[in-house]
Amino acid sequence: MRSFVAIGMPDDVAETLWRVTRGLKAGRRVEPDAMHLTLAFLGDVAVQDLEDLNDGLEAMRVGSFEVRLLGLGTFGPGPRTLWAGVAASPELSAVQKKVLSVARAAGVIVERRRFVPHVTLARFREGEGGAVGDVLTQAGAFGLSPFRVEQVTLYASHLSPSGARYEVLAEYPLLG
């Protein structure tokens, strides 16, 4: 099953993020209830590995912490995506490393990519990305109040021609 571990956005944060892309004239906006900060993209995971992953995430001892969304940016030529950035945080880096090590221990092969924490707000097809210019004029000024991360979530990603649909498979409270 195509899956990933992420931090879901609280409703009020997601609503605020949704308003950022209100004026976009092209591209596909990510719906508020699909917004998340990915800690580890796992790709296709075998059912047995998923069980081990679930056990490992349940056993993880990490406390809750705060994150702050700060700045806007883009990935890819065109660009392909618009995202909200995340203020550097040792707690966030620690939980991301922990999730990666749990995934590897469960037998999941995780890509070695630099962790650039972000929340994707919109995706663009070729030729659409220019529309991002209007939104990026607010980039420097963009910043939200910090919010507390109380849990991490294991999601399944179901791909279809109209985009990905995310399903919550399990939630893991951060109790320390």
Give the separation between CA 52 and CA 172, rounded to whole angstroms.
14
Q: Does 115 bind ligand 2AM (CB under 6 A)?
A: no
- Residues 68, 143 contacting (CB under 8 angstroms): yes
CB of 83 to ligand 2AM, least distance (A): 6
Q: How big is the site for ligand 2AM, counted in residues (CB under 6 A)?
A: 6
Give the separation between CA 26 and CA 134, rounded to whole angstroms.
11
Among 9, 17, 38, 45, binds ligand 2AM (CB under 6 A): 38
Among 16, 54, 64, 157, binds ligand 2AM (CB under 6 A): 157
Q: Does 153 bind ligand 2AM (CB under 6 A)?
A: no
Helix (H) or strand (E) holding 108: none
Q: Does 21 bind ligand 2AM (CB under 6 A)?
A: no
Q: Shortest CA distance to 72 belongs to which of 20, 113, 114?
A: 20
CB of 176 to ligand 2AM, least distance (A): 26
